[in-house]
Every structure is written in C-alpha cells, then in structure tokens.
Structure 1
Amino acid sequence: MRLTPEQNEFAASVAELCRREGGAREAHDDVLYRKMAALGWIGAGLPAEFGGADGGMVDICVFLEQTARGMAPIGGFTTSIIVAEAYRRFGSPEQKKLVIGGVAEGEVASIAMSEPEAGSDVGALTCRAERRDGGWVINGQKTWCSNAHIANTILLVARTSSEGGKHDGLTMFHVPADSAGLTVKGIETLGGSDVNDLYFTDCVLPADAVVGKVGEGWRQLMAGLNLERLILAAGMLGTAQRAFDDTLAYVRERRQFGKPIGTFQAIRHRLADLATEIECCRLLVYRVAELVDEDPERLLPREASMAKLKVTETAKKVALEGMQMMGGYGHAMEFDMQRHVRSTLVSTVYGGTSEIQRDIIGKTYGL
C-alpha cells in the first residue's frame, strides 16, 4: 500500500490539526467537527455534487486513522459516513441532497438497527412501520444507537411485513431527529453516554420517507457492510497506534533499577511484537480499502470482516498490554491509557462482534 502525495499531505494536515486541537475527553466537539467540515475533510469520501471531495475509501481511512490517533473528539463521523453511503446508494435525489449535503457541512447522522432482542441477529427486529393515511406510522424500540442524541438525521430499519423469511420485509426510513413520537434516551456505559435507546410511539412519517425500496432493507444493509467494517477498523487502527505511542513514551521515561524500563528485554520484545501487529493491521486495512475503491459496488464480506476482526482485536491487545506496562499509571484517570482500554474493549462488540466476523469469514470458505 502506498499513499499518493496528496493523500500523504492530507494525513499530515489532519495529524497537525489533531496535535493542536485534539486530545479532548468529550466524544464529539461540534465546533471542531464543523471546522473540519469547512476544510472539506468530513466530505473527503462523499460525492462532489453534494459538497464532498469525490475521494474514496482510502481517503476515508486516512482521515479516520489520523483523527483516532490524534484523539480528535469527532465521534459523530463514523455513523454519519455510514448513513451518507446508504443514502448515496439508495436515497432519492431529495434525500441525497438533504442528508449527504448535510453530512458534508458537518451535520451528524445516526443509524437505528439493533433492538433489545435483535443484536447480532438483525433479522429478528420487530420495530414496525405500518402504512396509514398515505404515510407510515412507526412503533417500537431501538437500542445501542450511536450519536442519536446529536444527530440531525436517523436512518431507521423497521419491519414493514412479516411474510417470507426473517430477512424479508425490512425497510429503511429517513427520520428527522426532531420527529414527533420519537424519544431519545442515553445509555450510560464505560465510555460515557454516546449510545442511546430510541422509542417510537406513533411516530408519523410521510410516504416518501422510505430510503430505497420497501422490503429491501436487508439487501441494502448488506451492501454497506464493506464501508461499515472498514470504517471501524480504520478508526481502531489509529487508536491502536496512539495506545502504542503512549506506551512507548512512558517506557522511555519511566526508570526502575537505574534505567528506563523500555531497555529491559521483557518490555522491548512486547513492544516489538505490538508494533509488528499494528503494521500488519495497517497493510490489511489499506489493502481492503484499495479493493473497495477499485470496485465500490463489489461486496467483500471476507476481507472486510478480516479487517474488522484483526484490527479491533489487535487494538484491544495493544491497550491492555499498554496498561500493564504502565502499571498503576495505566489505570489512572489522568492518563489516556484507561480511555484506550475502554474504547478498544467495546470495539470487538459493536458493528458485529468478533465472533460474528469469524463466522462470516468461515462461511466464505464454505464452512
């Protein structure tokens, strides 16, 4: 994998801004996010006709890696770019202009799929959308919806029919975040309250709220999995690198028995192994990103799942090893290592657990 001169300049510019203004403890800083949008970075991978830069998956991965490494508080980006891609593929011209254009300008979008009884098994969802008076009425609950509390738009996946298999009868809907009948309630987690429960109570949507085709929600979701898994992998690649950087800085300075602890073979070899694993992750992420850019319509279930699995598991290992090498300081709230641990632990759960990724990879081999 070799970045172009323009992509290298992009990476350097993002890294420099993050060095000056990153490192914040909050998950999403709207001022910084819109500043990045004004620079054209949020729309780096979006179509030019809607305010983007017509870049590709490699450009998105560059941005994600550098912002995560720089700890930029722009948590709204990941769901926004996933939602924007769904609208690019399936939205009406009006929906594309509204949502993709809004994301390019710095608005946040969220997606609502999971339910209390439908997590890894998304096809088991029961939140219903019923036709009524020429429109749709939504009733049900969604959960673990990242960034819904700061979103302008929510892309909802709801059941419109119970006929056929469980993956039939699902439909995507465009839901303005201020819609009557929608209640957003934060869920307290180890990482804060960036995920939410959504309650739909007779939430009325117009007929043209459908994104794509009625009953085609599952197929449409599958079409976006390359992007989702790569986005999560690229972000965790940056977090893994930052956890490594922080550990390296610590072991170079921390002295015990008269010398820096990084000079002890036990520490030096652990860092060598972690550095090698991170570089393997980087090569995998950007290789899969190149495959996506070669043919954006091609599904890459094996490769995208491999990237998500390998990078998130590696990031978790790097953070836990970093905490161990930093001793008590790695556990202290005044240092960032505890934050790296919390964010990497959950990365192996959201967006499809590591177990689900392994199952998908296995199935691509006919198992």
Structure 2
Amino acid sequence: MPRVLTDEQRDLVDAVGEFCRRECGTKEQRDKLTAHGSEPHNQDLYDKMADLGWLGISLPEAYGGSGQGMTELCLFLEETAYGRAPMSGFATTIITAAAYEKFASEEQKRTVLEGVVRGRVEAVSMSEPGAGSDVGALVCRAEKVDGGWLINGQKTWCSNAHIADHILLIARTSQEDSKHRGLTQFMVPTGVDGLQISGIETMGGREVNDLYFTDCFLPDSAVVGTVGQAWSQLMAGLNLERMILGANMVGAARRAFDDTLDYVKQREQFGKPIGSFQALKHRIADMATEIECAQLLLYSVAAAIDREPGKVFAREASMVKLKSTELAKHVSLEGMQMLGGYGYATEYDMESMLRSTVVSTVYGGTSEIQRDIIGKTYGL
C-alpha cells in the first residue's frame, strides 16, 4: 500500500477490503463462487460491486461513473486482487470502456459505459492464430458492403467474450503499405448472426475464447472511431492496459506473500517454525523488498498519469507490467516451494494463485515484448 493516501482513498481501500473479506474471504466461499476455480468471474458478486458504484470508478460522471483517476483505479484493482474477488471480467471491461470513451459515438458510449457501471462485461479481440505479439499481422477481414461491413476470419485468446455484451473487434479493412494501417475497430454484439464463440480450456478455467466470423454483417454504426485508424487508437490505451494488469499482479503478489508468511510462521520442523531458518527467512526478506519496490513503481507511474492524463508513458507503463507480473509469478512459485506438498494441494490457495499469475507474463504483451519496448525508449 502506498504510504500516503487521502482520506477518500483510504476509505475506498478499507471498504473494498472489508467487502472481499465478507463476500469471498474464505476458501469455501471462493470455491462456491467459482465452481471450484473453473469460473473466475462471478456475476452475482460483480453486480454487488456495481450497486456500490465501484465498477465505474474511472469512468466519467456523465455516464454514471465516479470520474476518479488512475491511482484510485489501481487501488481498487490491487485490493480486489489481494482479496481474491472472482471478477476476471473487470480488467477487459475497463480497458475496453476506455477505448469507447475516447473514440466511440455518443450512442456507443451510452450503451457501453452506462452498461459497465451497471455491471455489464465487455471484451476486446485483437489476437489471431497468426498474430499475437505482432498485432499488425492481423488478417481477420472486414469488407465494405452496402450499409455496413461483412466480417470473416478467426480471432483467438479473447478474454471474457462468453460473458460479454459486446466485443471490441480489431479487423483489417484495407491493405496498406504499412501493416499498422488499414485496421478498424468495430462494436460487435455477442449475439450477432455469423459469430461463433468457442471456449478454450485452460488451467485457469473458462477465461478465453476462439471467435469465428462467417459473413457476419455489422452496420456502419458499428465502427468505433475512424476507419483505418485502429492502430493509433490502440496505442492511446496502452497506459491503461498495462497499469490495470500491473495493479492486479501487485495485489496477487501481496496475497501470495502473506499466505506464505502465515504458513512459515506456523509450520514447525526440527522443533521450530520453518520461517526461522535462514534459507526461508532471506527469501521472505527478498520478496517483501521486491513487492515494496513494485508497489512504489505502480503508484509513482499512476500519479504521473493522473498529472498528465493525455501522455503515453510507454517506458514506465511497460516497466510496471514487466515488474509486477514477473514478481507475482515468482512469489507464487516461492510460496508453493515453501508450502511443500500443501502448495500443490487444492486444499490451499497457492496452487490456484500460481495458475492465475504464471500467465500474466504472457497476456497483455509478453515480458519479452515489454523489455523490447523499454529498450527502444533508450534508443536501442
């Protein structure tokens, strides 16, 4: 937790923490809410958060949101991640909502942003079987026809499409001299004819999906922003996506650390708590220091974004994403090692924390991509 909070920020953190302890504070509660970990999003709990006004924390007041900044959004995300609240739909929802806020028509904004505040889930689809880190290699095609567009092609790894109201689709509308030109964003209702959503089974449960478009017709009003300009529109949202993932993983790292610390204080071997052995004590000290560093980095960058909301902090946001995700994975692995067999058993949370953190270094831009971005900002 950052060392200096306003009274309002402290009240937010306390309220979210209390909610998580009450609603999903025990392993039994979380198992019930997630069908034993197979469904990482629980809509009933999500609706309760909507009733409390938290889901629109960073959205404009004109659409029912609270109009708060990046710092408050990160506080909310960190605390819900620490509390292990099953609300996996929120990250993609708030990332997608920001794109609509910046580029959508007024009608689109009303539909999506007001829906988000009420508890509706949104998704965004970029990846394809042949285009992951190289977003410019997209081939899913949107062809202009009378009155609209016909979409054909496959998308993959689309998080939360199966529980979303709409998918913000990035498709190729023209072939230009640069692969980053000729891409367009579309607002796609998930129930539209010509769209098939097929779940991909993962060790994290039902989170991601393949999307198959077959002569899927979208009206001209489905275009979000300017035709052919999706790449620049996507770049405008990079701060938000990386900060959201960073805040989630700082919270996850804190939780894995605290659960590990509790265990090594209580578990005894050779007549004393295992945490008193130097081999474990030093690893605990290292993890605590790294978590403090990651947290300070997160909120330093959040404060900078709040001061200059229109600026793209490519280096700093990538550092947040890189540091927090690699740390969360490391702390969960260390936790599993220190818990021994119990770290592997589903009776404890550590195995599910490892499953949820290990993928964080892949989605939203891999750690390798983040390092490449950071390196480029130094002229390399």
- TM-score bracket for the superposition, by shorter chain length: over 0.9
1:28-177 to 2 correspondences below 5 Å: 28-177=41-190
Aligned to 1:18: 20
Aligned to 2:355: 342
Aligned to 2:246: 233
Query: Matched residues in 1 for 2:136 and 2:63: separation?
Result: 32
- What is the one-letter code of the residue matched to 1:271? I
1:234-313 to 2 correspondences below 5 Å: 234-313=247-326
Cα offset, 1:134, TM superposition: 1.4
- What is the one-letter code of the residue matched to 1:20? R
Question: Could you give the per-residue CA deviations for residues 190-229 of structure 1, whole angstroms, max 9, x where no partner exists?
Answer: 1112100011111111101110000000000000000000
Cα offset, 1:164, TM superposition: 2.0
Cα offset, 1:328, TM superposition: 0.5
* Structure 1 residue ranges, 4+ long, deviating more than 3 angstroms after superposition: none
Q: Please provide the CA RMSD for this pair.
A: 0.8
Percent of aligned pairs sharing the same letter:
64
Question: Could you give the per-residue CA deviations for residues 129-155 of structure 1, whole angstroms, max 9, x where no partner exists?
Answer: 011111011111110000000000110
Query: Matched residues in 1 for 2:71 and 2:167: separation?
Result: 26
Question: Could you give the per-residue CA deviations for residues 42-98 of structure 1, whole angstroms, max 9, x where no partner exists?
Answer: 111110000100101111101100000000011100000000000000011111111
Q: How many corresponding residue pairs?
A: 367
Cα offset, 1:114, TM superposition: 0.2
- What is the one-letter code of the residue matched to 1:6? E
Cα offset, 1:300, TM superposition: 0.6
Query: Matched residues in 1 for 2:346 and 2:228: separation?
Result: 47
Aligned to 2:229: 216
Q: Secondary structure at the match of 2:201?
A: strand
Question: Could you give the per-residue CA deviations for residues 163-211 of structure 1, whole angstroms, max 9, x where no partner exists?
Answer: 2210000000001111111110110111112100011111111101110
Which residues of structure 2 form unaligned runs of 5+?
35-39
Query: Matched residues in 1 for 2:71 and 2:154: separation?
Result: 35
- What is the one-letter code of the residue matched to 2:11? E
Aligned to 2:37: none
Query: Matched residues in 2 for 1:103 and 1:164: separation?
Result: 37
Aligned to 1:180: 193
Query: Matched residues in 1 for 2:187 and 2:5: separation?
Result: 36
- What is the one-letter code of the residue matched to 1:22? C
1:357 is aligned to 2:365: no
Q: Secondary structure at the match of 1:144?
A: coil
- What is the one-letter code of the residue matched to 1:340? M
Query: Matched residues in 2 for 1:104 and 1:335: separation?
Result: 34
Cα offset, 1:292, TM superposition: 1.1
Query: Matched residues in 1 for 2:112 and 2:79: separation?
Result: 25
Pick which of 222-231 and 257-266 moved more. Answer: 257-266
Question: Could you give the per-residue CA deviations for residues 280-305 of structure 1, whole angstroms, max 9, x where no partner exists?
Answer: 00001111111111121100100000
Query: Matched residues in 2 for 1:179 and 1:255: separation?
Result: 58
Q: Secondary structure at the match of 2:228?
A: coil
Q: What TM-score comes out, normalization by structure 1 length?
A: 0.99
Query: Matched residues in 2 for 1:258 and 1:131: separation?
Result: 74
Query: Matched residues in 1 for 2:321 and 2:188: separation?
Result: 28
Query: Matched residues in 2 for 1:340 and 1:204: separation?
Result: 41
- What is the one-letter code of the residue matched to 2:111? L
Query: Matched residues in 2 for 1:120 and 1:301: separation?
Result: 16
Query: Matched residues in 1 for 2:58 and 2:375: separation?
Result: 31
Query: Matched residues in 1 for 2:305 and 2:101: separation?
Result: 15
Q: Secondary structure at the match of 1:119?
A: coil
Cα offset, 1:244, TM superposition: 0.4
Q: Secondary structure at the match of 1:172?
A: strand
Query: Matched residues in 1 for 2:373 and 2:332: separation?
Result: 26
